[in-house]
């Protein structure tokens, strides 16, 4: 059983910057309804930035300047008082427009949660059913897993380049899919280690607002959603034989912060590449809940569709297992470690092999997980690094924590030059994207005493 979340239509992007927001960005994506708030402080207890205003028993509100749009307050409010900006009607109208090709960019965490909105057991996998439902609704599909593989190639290569540069190298030869490439890495020495992940838009905004000194440590790689948007309107437009300006890209995400990310003005790579002004890489975002609402509006139930998936790779529907695990805390880190292990050792991944299962970087069971991964070096790298294996030290922060509690000790080490790590993954939401602010909301069971207490507090 899931609870319906109240939504509201946005007023559009800001014409002028306000506080921590720039012109073009969406403002106030999450808000608290005074009519439903009882001042129970649950939202304050899960907010990573201290953005919730209001004393216990008083109506609460959100300090939008501090808010990173993660939606944890929305997921945890027992009274459904937290609301979210929605673009369901916009997407519905675009699907009816015969001139427009609407592309759904589907995150991996969505397909294990969307079924709950249609009565399925939590965790029911719906890959084929969801693809079928979206295609019936009129979408073209660009699976976000495909873009996650793109991200690992970018982010993993960037990490290797930085590690090599800081080891004093000017060049690093690598081999991928039988092709030999020489990376000119000397310029990466000016970028500091450890490298932080950049996939989570709530985390990126957290850095910008609260720790701007960390910005140089962030990976330069876009998130999978933004890579997918740019690629869909360039390479995808050619494959689909569609004019880029007639493509409308929709992120289908487990995350409310992705709504904000898509609005950021720097994400206009397709526009620059095609020399067409005013084109956004990702036009709008639907949460998992929003997609369920849209499908119900169109009388489409994915759980009544076939789960059979064609084994033949098709367009943007094929991907690796490393991409799939992006949806859980530690997944980005493990995918990056697999990439580095493959490049440096020369070994190829083996299905179900313990050697390719990096349990130490899986962060969903504790607030912070760290590991040292011994990577055996092939002969040419032994000469380069002067060792038989490279010790890669990594860390996973599983949820920023209330007022940044999980993150602060890690950041303090980095900013004081004491961090032992090469690579750090941060996911704002506990458990990762699977527990994002856009996922189905389950009613919280209150005791009879709680119900009486809050009912009485409303009267007085």
* Active-site choice (83, 116, 117, 158): 158
Q: Are the C-beta atoms of residues 220 and 198 closer than 8 Å to each other?
A: yes
At residue 308, φ and ψ (nearest 5 deg) are -60, 130
Least reliable range by pLDDT among 272-276, 359-363, 423-427? 359-363
Q: What pLDDT does residue 174 have?
A: 85
Nearest to 194 by CA among 166, 169, 173: 166
Which structural domain, as residue segments, surrounds residue 281?
A: 88-146+224-304
Q: Is 121 a catalytic residue?
A: no
Q: What pLDDT does residue 357 have?
A: 74
Same domain, 79 and 122: no
Question: How many beta carbons lie within 10 A of that of residue 340, not counting itself?
Answer: 23
Q: Are the C-beta atoms of residues 391 and 161 closer than 8 Å to each other?
A: no
In a domain, 115, yes or no: yes
Same domain, 73 and 129: no
Q: Are the C-beta atoms of residues 361 and 329 closer than 8 Å to each other?
A: no
pLDDT band per the 50, 70, 90 thresholds, residue 445: low
Strand intervals (E) in 147-268: 171-176, 179-184, 195-196, 247-253
Q: Total domain count for the chain?
A: 3
Grouping H, G, I as helix, E, B as strand and the rest as coil, residue 2 is coil
Q: What pLDDT does residue 351 have?
A: 66
Same domain, 108 and 78: no
CA 423 to chain CA centroid, Å, is 17
Q: What is the CATH number of the domain that holds 296?
A: 3.40.50.1780
Determine the angle formed by the axes of helices 288-297 and 88-96, rounding to 10 degrees: 50
Same domain, 27 and 133: no
* Active-site choice (261, 293, 334, 425): 261
Please tell me the number of Cα atoms within 13 Å of 317 on its side-chain side.
Answer: 16
Q: What pLDDT does residue 67 have?
A: 97
Q: Is 155 a catalytic residue?
A: yes
Q: What pLDDT does residue 313 have?
A: 61
Please say if the pLDDT value at position 413 is more than 80. Answer: yes
Same domain, 132 and 77: no
Which of the 8 DSSP states describes residue 72? H
pLDDT tens-digit map of 294-312:
999 999 999 999 888 765 5
At residue 399, φ and ψ (nearest 5 deg) are 90, 125
Mean pLDDT of the 133-158 span: 94
In a domain, 316, yes or no: no
DSSP state letters, 272-304: HHHT-TT--SS-EEEEHHHHHHHHHHTT--GGG
DSSP state letters, 375-417: EEPPHHHHHHHTSSEEEEEEEEEES--GGGTTTHHHHHHHHTT
Q: What pLDDT does residue 319 have?
A: 85
* Active-site choice (25, 116, 155, 293): 155
Grouping H, G, I as helix, E, B as strand and the rest as coil, residue 31 is strand
pLDDT tens-digit map of 200-234:
999 999 999 999 999 999 999 999 999 999 999 99
Q: What pLDDT does residue 330 have?
A: 86
Of all residues in the chain, what percent carry a pLDDT higher than 70? Answer: 94
Structure tokens at 275: 């020399």
Q: What is the CATH number of the domain that holds 44?
A: 3.30.70.20
C-alpha span between 339 and 45 (Å, rounded) = 37
pLDDT tens-digit map of 166-181:
988 898 888 877 788 8
Least reliable range by pLDDT among 13-22, 67-76, 152-161, 323-332? 323-332
Q: What pLDDT does residue 352 have?
A: 66
C-alpha span between 103 and 209 (Å, rounded) = 32
Q: Are the C-beta atoms of residues 88 and 294 closer than 8 Å to each other?
A: yes
In a domain, 133, yes or no: yes
* Active-site choice (44, 86, 198, 219): 219
Q: What pLDDT does residue 455 have?
A: 47
Top-ranked range on mean pLDDT: pick from 306-310, 399-403, 454-458? 399-403
C-alpha span between 319 and 131 (Å, rounded) = 15
In a domain, 414, yes or no: yes
pLDDT band per the 50, 70, 90 thresholds, residue 451: very low
Same domain, 243 and 294: yes
Q: What pLDDT does residue 449 have?
A: 46
Please say if the pLDDT value at position 116 is more than 60. Answer: yes
Same domain, 142 and 122: yes
- The mean pLDDT value of the chain amounts to 90
Same domain, 102 and 12: no
* Active-site choice (11, 65, 171, 266): 266
Element (H, E) at 153: helix 144-166
Question: How many beta carbons lie within 10 A of that of residue 24, not counting itself?
Answer: 18
In a domain, 313, yes or no: no
In a domain, 369, yes or no: yes
* Active-site choice (67, 77, 395, 433): 433
Q: What pLDDT does residue 460 have?
A: 44
Q: Is 158 a catalytic residue?
A: yes
* Active-site choice (199, 255, 395, 429): 199
Q: What is the CATH number of the domain that holds 393?
A: 3.40.950.10
Same domain, 164 and 239: no
In a domain, 1, yes or no: no
C-alpha span between 260 and 200 (Å, rounded) = 11
Q: Is 219 a catalytic residue?
A: yes
Question: How many beta carbons lie within 10 A of that of residue 138, not counting itself?
Answer: 16
Q: Of 278, 304, 330, which closes a domain? A: 304
pLDDT band per the 50, 70, 90 thresholds, residue 318: confident
Nearest to 219 by CA among 422, 457, 83, 371: 422
Nearest to 45 by CA among 19, 77, 22: 77
Q: What pLDDT does residue 311 have?
A: 55
In a domain, 413, yes or no: yes
Beta-bridge mates of residue 171: 184
* Active-site choice (31, 101, 222, 258): 258
C-alpha span between 105 and 228 (Å, rounded) = 7
Q: Is 388 a catalytic residue?
A: no
Structure-model confidence comparison of residues 1 and 159, the more confident one: 159
Alpha helices, DSSP H only, in 6-87? 42-46, 72-76
Same domain, 297 and 416: no
pTM for the full model?
Answer: 0.93
Please say if the pLDDT value at position 365 is more than 90. Answer: no
Least reliable range by pLDDT among 172-181, 336-345, 386-395? 172-181
C-alpha span between 293 and 89 (Å, rounded) = 10
Q: Of 257, 274, 304, which closes a domain? A: 304
pLDDT band per the 50, 70, 90 thresholds, residue 58: very high
Of all residues in the chain, what percent carry a pLDDT higher than 90? Answer: 72
Nearest to 46 by CA among 425, 288, 406, 328: 406
Same domain, 135 and 235: yes
Same domain, 275 and 414: no
Q: Of 257, 278, 304, which closes a domain? A: 304
pLDDT band per the 50, 70, 90 thresholds, residue 457: very low
């Amino acid at each position: 059983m899931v609870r319906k979340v109240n939504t509201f239509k946005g007023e559009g992007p800001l014409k002028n910057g306000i506080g921590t927001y720039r012109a073009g960005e969406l403002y106030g994506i999450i808000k608290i309804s005074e009519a439903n708030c009882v001042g129970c402080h649950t939202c304050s207890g899960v907010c990573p930035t201290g953005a919730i205003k209001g004393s216990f028993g008083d109506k609460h509100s959100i300090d939008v300047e501090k808010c990173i749009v993660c939606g944890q307050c929305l997921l945890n409010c027992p009274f459904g008082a937290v609301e979210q900006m929605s673009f369901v009607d916009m997407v519905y109208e675009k699907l009816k427009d015969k001139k427009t090709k609407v592309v759904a960019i589907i995150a991996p965490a969505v397909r294990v949660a969307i079924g709950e909105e249609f009565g399925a057991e939590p965790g029911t996998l719906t890959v084929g059913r969801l693809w079928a439902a979206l295609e019936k609704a009129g979408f073209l599909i660009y699976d976000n897993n495909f873009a996650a593989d793109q991200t690992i190639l970018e982010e993993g290569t960037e990490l290797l380049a930085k590690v090599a540069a800081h080891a004093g190298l000017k060049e690093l030869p690598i081999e991928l899919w039988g092709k030999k490439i020489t990376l000119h890495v000397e310029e990466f020495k000016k970028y500091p280690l450890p490298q932080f992940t950049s996939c989570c838009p709530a985390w990126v905004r957290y850095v910008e607002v609260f720790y701007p000194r960390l910005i140089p440590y962030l990976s330069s790689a876009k998130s999978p959603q933004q890579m997918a948007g740019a690629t869909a309107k360039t390479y995808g437009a050619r494959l689909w034989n569609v004019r880029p300006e007639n493509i409308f890209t929709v992120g289908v995400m487990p995350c409310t912060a992705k709504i904000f990310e898509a609005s950021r003005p720097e994400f206009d790579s397709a526009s620059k590449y095609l020399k067409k002004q005013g084109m956004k890489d990702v036009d709008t975002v639907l949460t998992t809940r929003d997609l369920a609402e849209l499908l119900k509006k169109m009388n489409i139930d994915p759980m009544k569709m076939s789960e059979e998936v064609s084994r033949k790779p098709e367009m943007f529907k094929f991907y690796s297992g490393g991409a799939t695990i992006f949806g859980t805390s530690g997944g980005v880190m493990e995918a990056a470690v697999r990439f580095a292990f493959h490049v440096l050792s020369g070994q190829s991944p083996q299905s179900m092999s313990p050697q390719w299962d990096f349990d130490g970087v899986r962060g969903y069971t504790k607030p912070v997980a760290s590991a040292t991964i011994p990577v055996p070096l092939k002969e040419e790298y032994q000469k380069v690094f002067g060792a038989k294996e490279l010790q890669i030290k990594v860390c996973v922060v599983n949820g920023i924590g209330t007022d940044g509690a999980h993150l602060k000790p890690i950041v303090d080490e980095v900013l004081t030059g004491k961090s032992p790590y090469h690579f750090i993954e941060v996911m704002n939401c506990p458990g990762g994207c699977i527990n994002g602010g856009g996922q189905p909301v389950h009613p919280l069971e209150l005791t009879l005493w709680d119900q009486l207490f809050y009912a009485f507090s409303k009267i007085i």
